[in-house]
Chains A and B, each alone.
Chain A
Amino acid sequence: MSGAAGREPVFPTRQSLGLMKSKLKGAEVGHSLLKRKSEALTKRFREITRRIDEAKQKMGRVMQIAAFSLAEVSYAVGGDIGYQVQESAKQARFRVRAKQENVSGVFLPHFESYTEEGINDFGLTGLGKGGQQVQRCRETYARAVETLVELASLQTAFVILDEVIKVVNRRVNAIEHVIIPRTENTIKYINSELDELDREEFYRLKKVSGKKQRDVAAADAELLARREQEAAEAIAQGDTKAKPEEEAPDAPDVLGEQEDTDVIF
C-alpha cells in the first residue's frame, strides 16, 4: 500500500493488533473532533475579519470627525494646546479591561473600555476660552477611542485565531495524512504477519498429521501384514496337520493323528 507512510515499529502480535485498532479508532474520533473545531474557529474567524474590515472603515470616519473637532479647538483656543495637554497628562482616565471569551476552547480576549472617574487632568485646559470646544473634542475623541478599542480587540482575536487555526489545521492534516495511514499500514502488516504465521502453523500441523497418518498407515500395514501372515500361518498350520514337522520341526507332534512308527522293543 502507501509505503510512504511507513509503519510503527511493533511486533506482529495479537496484542499490538488490538492496540493499533484502538489507536486507529482514537485517531479517527480525534480527527473528526478537530475538524469540527477547525470549522467552528474558521467560521468565527471569517466573521471577525468581516467585522475588522467594517471597523477599519468606521475608524477612518470617526478619526476624521475627531481631527476636525480638534481643529475647532485650536481655532477657538487660539493657540496650540498640544504642549499644555502633554504636560498635564498624569493619570489615565480612559482605561481598558480585558475579558475572556471562549470559542471552542480558545480564549479570545475582549477589551472593554471604561473611564476612571475622578481623574481629570485637563481641568484647566481651555479655561481662558474655548472650553466648550475642548469639552466637545474630548467627548468626540472618547468615542473615537472606544471604536479603536473595539477594533483592537477584534484585531487581537484575529491574531490569536489565525495562529490557533493554523495549529489545529496542522493537527488535522497530520492525523489525516500521517497517523491514520501509518496505523492502517501497521494493522495491515500485523494482519499479514499473523496470516503468515497461521499458514505456517497450518502447514506444520498438516505435516505433523500427515506424518502421523503415514505412521498409522505403516503400523496398520504392518499389523495387517502380520495378521495376514498369522492367518496364512494358521492356514498353513491347518494344511500341515499332516506334516507338523514343518511347523515345529523341533517338537514332533506326538499326539498327532499320524501313525506312530512302530516302536520295536
Chain B
Amino acid sequence: MAASATTYKDRQFLAVIGDEDSVTGLLLAGIGHVTDGPDAQRNFLVVDAKTETSAIEKAFVNFTQERNDIAVLLINQHVAERIRHSVDSFADPFPAVLEIPSKDHPYDPEKDSVLKRVRRLFGE
C-alpha cells in the first residue's frame, strides 16, 4: 500500500553488503556512516570467502528490519546469492534492496530478485 510518510522520512543512508572492493569504492563515494554512541553500528559489511553465511544473514536482517534509517541496501549479487532465500522473501518497499555487480562477478540479470518478478509479470 501507499507508504506513510513516517516509514521513509528519516531514511537517509545507504547500506552496503559486499566484497572488499565494492565496499571500499562505495565508501569512497561517501556512503559510510557509523552511528554515535557506545553501540556504534556501521552501515556496511565486508564479505569475503571466510565470512559465515549466518553473519551475512544477520547483517541483512539488521539493515532491512532493525534499522530504520536506511533507504537503500546495496548488496553484491554473489553475496545475495548466498542468502538468496532472505533476499527473495524480502518484499517490503523500504529499504530498497538492490543487487549490484562486483568486480569478479559480472552482473547476471537472471538472478536478480526484482528482475525475476519483472520477467514473471510479463510472462517471459
Contacts and interface: CB of A to CB of B under 8 A. Distances in A.
Interface of A: 49, 52-53, 56-57, 59-60, 63-64, 66-67, 69-71, 80-82, 85-86, 89-98, 100, 105-107, 109, 111, 115, 119, 121-122, 125, 134, 137-138, 141-142, 144-145, 148-149, 151-153, 155-156, 158-160, 162-164, 167
A152 B8 CA distance: 13
Given A107-B3, A145-B29, A67 B93 contact: no
Contacts of A91: 33-34
24 contacts: A49-B122, A60-B106, A63-B107, A69-B25, A80-B20, A81-B24, A82-B23, A85-B28, A89-B33, A91-B33, A92-B31, A92-B32, A98-B71, A109-B93, A138-B30, A141-B29, A145-B14, A148-B72, A151-B98, A152-B71, A152-B72, A159-B92, A159-B93, A163-B1
A155 B14 CA distance: 15
A142 B28 CA distance: 8
Contact of B2 (A52, A80, A106): A106
Interface string B1-36: 111010011011110000011111111111111100
Contact of B13 (A70, A95, A151): A95
Contacts of A64: 101
A249 to B, nearest CB: 109
B50 to A, nearest CB: 15
Nearest to B28: A138
Interface of B: 1-3, 5, 8-9, 11-14, 20-34, 42-44, 46, 71-72, 74, 91-94, 96-98, 100-103, 106-107, 109, 112, 114-115, 117-118, 121-122
Nearest to B21: A70
A158 B107 CA distance: 20
